[in-house]
Structure 1
Amino acid sequence: MSSVALALVLAAGPLLAQRMRIKEAFAFLVSPVGIGCIFVTVWASASLLWTPFPGEAAPRLLKIVSTFLSVLPVAHVLPARSRAANLYVLPIGVLTASAGAILLSASLSAKPQDSVTTRTLLDAMTFLLLLSWPAMMAAFLRGRTKLAASLAIIVIIASLFVHSTIALAATAAGGLAYVFSRRDAARTGLWIGRFGAAGFMLAPFIPLALAPLLGGFTGFSWLKVWNGVIFADGVRLVTGHGFNYVASGYVHGYLGAETPKSLLFEIWTDLGALGALSSAAVLFCAFRLAAVQTANTAPYWIGALTFVATLGVLGGATLQLWWITALALALVALILATRGDFQTERPTAPRQVLS
């Protein structure tokens, strides 16, 4: 469905937009974020030469890259100024879907648990929590603060019904970032970007330091597993085992159930130090870019980025294809909502002075 929607937007672009802003798309590619993304893509493509599962890795990488690349032309054929009617679609849609999730979860609670249905509902709720950021931004920009607050409350209630524990933790982190960004978005984005980049670069030191202390306890066995992988990797710690090694390793049984589910482990194991360092640079530049948005929109961008980063660290969503599609759609929604901030005020009609 997402590919159909993107195709429709592209086809309608000349009618929706005042002009095709394709030059801005190329400008993004040569920006720090764009250059970082290109480097990660090139390195991931090169790692296909030594990945144990090239037949699975190559199509998956192509799907991920093409999905994100489709955001550029779609974003640049959207109208320069989003209409109010288009902005209201986001909060109304998220509210409706959240109410549906509550009803569906309540109806399923009385039936035997189906793992497939539960997993699907959890993924859908995670997507709704992600979309709540552009939805709240759209409501706020139209002066509907009560609608934005109600949306946040209902989405969180729906998450509690669905038991989206990891996604709720990521939402809490995003909410905290949002609160600080309301005071000083530039400083908040800078410090979160620094902290996130440092976390990417120093991630292997966590199992090295804590595995001897906590590796034997229940719930911390993943530290011992990661610690063993680090010592066994050798040169692979720099080059990685190749793109999609972790995902395919789960499927083929090369990696056990106690293997870490975090995006940090996946990036370090698949792409090595070079991939992790470039990913850290992309994350830092992304937060810097979010911080320089307007005063009305920057807190929502920073909150959404914090939500995504925290979710990846906690293992709620990594590089699964449904999540990549969700991120692409959320980016388009954030851009659409951001273009509703006109930064202008309607002039007041002059009053005629009676003499």
Structure 2
Amino acid sequence: MVRSAFQTANASADAAAVLRRLGFAILFFAVPLAALFTRRALVVMAPLAVILLVLASVLDGNARHAWDKLLALATSRGGMAGLVLLFWAALSLVWTPFTAQATERLLNITGMILMGLGGYLAVPERMRSANLYLLPVGLGLAALIGIPLALEGGSRFDPEGLSLERGMLMLVLLLWPALAWLHSRGRNLEAIGLALAVGVAALLTRGGLPLYGLVAGALVFVLTAYSQALGARLTGLVMAGLLLLAPILPFLLKPLASGLLGARSPVTASLEAWRRIIVSEPLRLLTGHGLETALRGRSFGLVPRNAPSTLLFEVWYELGLVGAVAGSVLLYQAATGIRSHRASVAPGIMAAFACAYTLGCLGIGTAQVWWFTALVVLVLIFVAIERGQFRTTRPKAVFRRTF
């Protein structure tokens, strides 16, 4: 018996819907929960979710005009700055002393970018609300589970609490798209409850790093909600300016840190180490020392062990002026690009920018694969939320009299 083309098309659409629902369930619901217990959860589950989304888009033909979208993205100012940054990172393999490790890191970064592009093209143009509600539900459940784990300092799967800290950082990052979605649906009471749950979990986490990122995001969220243009421009200028002027910071902040914290404090010693590196090799500020040198150089005595572990130091030390300028342009263009987004989503986007940037500046392992994966997941979630805003109110029924 020959099946009709209509039945085949329906079967393909149904299979695509199942795969897409499963992919979003992994990305929105499973990832925040699993990240609390194992450090590898994000790196394994995020690519699996993207693969399912890509398969779904192939089955139902959702990924239309893919080349046009990629070309528009690459030819934008932010896209060109990103390409320059990636090219300069690849070129730095010529002079880095850790060629093998730097090549592996570059391949990982490229793989994350390709995964992000694949997910960007696979997200449907109109997202179903049922899929997007999985994010606040999963995040709220993860926050409630994370509170007792934070009180105990970890779980039996993670006695040292390393996975718990990463999981809390994921909760802080994913809070902002969840709030943006709930706010856009008019569920402000649920948004407040979710923010309180994540805030308590971050407050109880040792080290305080998730709490710092949460505070920075909250400040920018309020500012952008008050004025979208002001919040975007000011946040973009601060992020780009800090990265571009980072070599001046140790000279400006060292006297202040010495007076407030003492000459022997770790912060003062870290700033002094950074200052000595700049003074001893000023020409290296132009080209940098090459990819992977900021991390690997500590083990071989090339970089002082008390040198800063921060995004600002690593970009300048590894990629120099060219990398810093390209990164600054990329950050500013990404921040000011929210003018094309809806007002209900823009505060969440800017808060996520500020939160991630603050965590990077405070010493999170920005060179690690899990951090790049977390940023890709964050971007894909915001893309999905933006494409779920095609209808904000239910249509009203109109009754007409017929005679």
* TM-score computed with the length of structure 2 as normaliser: 0.82
Cα distance in 2 for residues equivalent to 1:138 and 1:171? 18
Cα distance in 1 for residues equivalent to 2:234 and 2:312? 19
Q: How does 1:122-137 map to 2 (within 5 A)?
A: 122-137=165-180
Q: 1:266 aligns with which of 296, 314, 317?
A: 314
User: Structure 2 regions of 5+ residues with no counterpart?
Assistant: 1-43
The 8 Å contact of residues 311 and 317 in structure 1, kept in 2 or not, is answered as no
Give the aligned length: 352
The 8 Å contact of residues 47 and 243 in structure 1, kept in 2 or not, is answered as yes
SS at match of 2:161: helix
- Using the TM superposition, give the Cα deviation of residue 353 of structure 1 relative to its aligned residue in structure 2, in angstroms: 6.9
1:11-67 Cα distance to aligned partner (Å, 9 max, x none)? 111346644241212211111111111000000000000001011000111111220
The 8 Å contact of residues 154 and 161 in structure 2, kept in 1 or not, is answered as no
1:187 aligned partner: 230
2:203 aligned partner: 160
1:89 matched to 2:134? The reply is: yes
Cα distance in 1 for residues equivalent to 2:221 and 2:275? 34
The 8 Å contact of residues 291 and 302 in structure 1, kept in 2 or not, is answered as no
Cα distance in 1 for residues equivalent to 2:198 and 2:255? 40
| Change in 2 beyond 3 A, CA 1:340/1:96 | same
1:27 aligned partner: 72
Q: 1:328 aligns with which of 376, 380, 384?
A: 376
SS at match of 1:128: helix
SS at match of 1:220: helix
1:175 aligned partner: 218
Q: How does 1:54-133 map to 2 (within 5 A)?
A: 54-108=99-153, 114=159, 117-133=160-176
1:7 aligned partner: 51
1:339 aligned partner: 387
One-letter code of the match for 2:50? L
1:275 aligned partner: 323
One-letter code of the match for 2:121? H
Cα distance in 2 for residues equivalent to 1:317 and 1:280? 19
Alpha-carbon RMSD across the aligned residues, in angstroms, is: 2.2
Q: 1:220 aligns with which of 249, 264, 268?
A: 268
- Using the TM superposition, give the Cα deviation of residue 95 of structure 1 relative to its aligned residue in structure 2, in angstroms: 1.0
Cα distance in 2 for residues equivalent to 1:222 and 1:298? 36
1:209 matched to 2:252? The reply is: yes
2:188 aligned partner: 145
Which has the higher mean CA deviation after the structures are superposed, 158-167 or 262-271? 158-167
Cα distance in 2 for residues equivalent to 1:125 and 1:194? 28
Cα distance in 2 for residues equivalent to 1:136 and 1:180? 15
Cα distance in 2 for residues equivalent to 1:267 and 1:37? 14
The 8 Å contact of residues 81 and 342 in structure 1, kept in 2 or not, is answered as yes
2:355 aligned partner: 307
The 8 Å contact of residues 50 and 118 in structure 2, kept in 1 or not, is answered as no
Cα distance in 1 for residues equivalent to 2:378 and 2:400? 48
2:82 aligned partner: 37
1:236 matched to 2:316? The reply is: no
Cα distance in 1 for residues equivalent to 2:234 and 2:151? 41
Larger Rg: 1 or 2? 2
